[in-house]
Amino acid sequence: MSHAINDEALDRVFRQARTFRKFRSAPVHPQILMAIYDLMRLGPTSGNILPGRIVFLVSEQAKERLKPHLDSGNVQKTMDAPVTAILGYDLEFYEFIPKLRPHKPDTAEFREMEPAALDRVAFRNATLQAGYFILAARAIGLDCGPMSGFDNNGVDKEFFADGRVKSNMLCNLGYGDEPDMRPRPPRLSFDETCRIL
């Protein structure tokens, strides 16, 4: 079966990609982080609302602020990674709707939502964006270590004190250094997970 992109690109983004726990000490320059975002922001979200927000932790001081909120198994790999991205979602994403949807700039449909419904919309679409983030990072040559093992409330108080943004997940970034990488665990087959009606 032919593909719109070549096998090398598919290998890099999907087939040969792995979750990395160890990274070389080579820095990740700000221009690369900007390039990740430039790709990520192009992925579709519901009504182009783009609620995803990112804080890139690069300095030792920033990592130390995160450290007390990490599960014990995630501390060392996070402290050693060149970059840790906090991927969050903005509960007031609708403020940008006039810019993002000039053809439909009214924000009332979101401003008037019940808080739980608004949270679901922001969380769902920011989670989509987190997937785009990982694919974009891999596509431009970085390796990723996405994680959920952390105290969301602690991270939110430390990095999003105004309550507007909530943390969703973390993702370590860098150039992978894991020579004894384990084989990829099994995946479910098409027939186990999908139906065509």
* CB-based burial label for 53 (10 Å; 0-12, 13-18, 19+): buried
User: What is the model's pLDDT at position 181?
Assistant: 66
pTM of the model: 0.94
| Top-confidence residue, 131 or 104 | 131
- In the chain, the domains with their CATH numbers are 7-54+61-176 (3.40.109.10)
193: left (phi over 0), alpha (psi -120 to 50) or beta: alpha
pLDDT of amino acid 168: 98
Among 149, 166, 145, CA closest to 157: 166
Over residues 54-101, the pLDDT tens digits come to 999 999 999 999 999 999 999 999 999 999 999 999 999 999 999 999
pLDDT in the model for residue 1: 65
pLDDT at 184: 83
State the chain's mean pLDDT as an integer: 94
Neighbours of 164 (CB within 10 A): 15
Answer whether residue 3 shows pLDDT above 90.
Answer: no
Q: What percent of the chain has pLDDT over 90?
A: 85
- pLDDT digits over 149-184, tens only? 999 999 999 999 999 999 999 999 999 987 556 788
